[in-house]
Chain A
Amino acid sequence: MRRRATPSLVSLAGACLVGLLVYGVTAQSPSRTLDEAVAQRRYPAAPQARRSLPVLPVLSAGSRGTLATGPPASIGHSDSLAAYRGKVVVLNFWASWCEPCQAEAPLLERTQGRLEPHDGTVLGVTYLDASTDSQGFVREHHVTYPNLRDTTGEFARAYGTDYVPESFVIDRAGDIVAISRGEVDQKFLNKAIALAEST
């Protein structure tokens, strides 16, 4: 009996370790649940819509750390995706160090110009980026749309975002109708925004 017990215990411990490893790998890898739902046209509600995120303060051109032209309420303030309910939102995760984010910034700015008169907006969320670097990016690319900061990475994780840029087009009801994991292009935005406006 004893002779059987020791190998059984060792096997059990080994199985537990393997199970833990598998769980760790699956839990840490980005979720693709949203992508599957969107692909099946079961438009899922945007996750963590009520999560409050700090607003990225806007600095004046050439200033270093002093707030000037940005909305005065932005410093020390936070905002959530839920505040944009009723609008078509292009939720864009970005970081100043990301080259495709720099490439798509002019397109997103043009999209903002197109969405704003129709009660829509591009909403940027910075991820793994220092606020001063993000502010430099906003200034350099003349970004006028609002930007929030995901300082914990939990908001990005809820969207299965591990790399930037990634964009989620959200309709007026707060449901995700299109996802772009990578740099967006005009064709994707045209199609996704039309879909969001029609739902």
Chain B
Amino acid sequence: MRRPRRSFALLDAPGVAGTLAVAGTLAVAVALGASTRATAATPRASLPVIERRVMCVTCKIPLNVAESVQADRERAFIRGLIAEGDTEAQVERSLVGQYGPAVLALPSAHGFDLTAYLVPLVAMLALSSTLALLLPRWRRQARAQAAERAAAGLAATPTLAAADQARLDADLAQFDR
């Protein structure tokens, strides 16, 4: 009978209950944070995402647009692996293990396939450097041409005869009224 009273007394003591409450809240927060991190580290694989990344090996088109017996077999295979809790990377590895690298929609990063990544990169670099070289030149040329035109424009401004100037002024004055 003493023990409960003692523990009650302990909890009633000012500061102790508060400390316990804070500690409990912290423990719950840490546990929730850990579970969230664990969930974030291993996202659940999704069939539509994997379907976009792999090919139907017989139709030679991405699985998400393929409609064939083999496409359905591949989908069933993927669903089975997802049900077992495999991640997207694990599912892709298993697919490669079964069907070979041809099942991947993206080219591999070695051999001739590497050109699929390198050619656009080289083309972008070449285009950027060409623009970097040519743009200042074009701007200089445009400025020079504008200056030439301005100079030529000033020199070639037509002068009006006194009678024409008077008639023009009269016409403009009519509009001002």
Contact = CB atoms under 8 A, between A and B. Distances in A.
Contacts of A24: 112, 115
Nearest to A156: B100
A97 B73 contact: yes
A61 interface: no
B115 A20 contact: yes
A20 B119 contact: yes
Contacts of A151: 97-98, 100
A133 B99 CA distance: 11
A107 interface: no
A130 B77 contact: yes
A132 B97 CA distance: 12
B10 interface: no
Interface in A101-158: 128-133, 150-153
Contacts of B97: 151
Contacts of A1: none
Given A17-B119, A27-B112, A97-B70, A128 B101 contact: no
Nearest to B126: A13
A128 B96 CA distance: 10
Contacts of B69: 97
B115 A130 contact: no
Size bracket of the B interface: 10 to 19
Contact of A97 (B58, B98, B103, B115): B58
A27 B111 CA distance: 11
A153 B58 CA distance: 13
Contact of A130 (B99, B102, B112, B119): B99
B58 A128 contact: yes
Interface string B73-90: 110010000000000000
Interface in A1-32: 13, 17, 20, 23-24, 27-28
A153 B119 contact: no
A131 B100 CA distance: 12
A117 B3 CA distance: 89
Contacts of B99: 128-130
Given A129-B98, A130-B77, 16 more contacts: A20-B119, A24-B112, A24-B115, A97-B58, A97-B69, A97-B70, A98-B58, A128-B58, A128-B100, A130-B73, A130-B74, A151-B100, A152-B100, A152-B101, A153-B100, A153-B102
Which are the 5 A-B pairs with shortest beta-carbon distances? A130-B98, A153-B100, A128-B57, A97-B70, A152-B100
Interface of B: 57-58, 69-70, 73-74, 77, 97-103, 112, 115, 119, 126
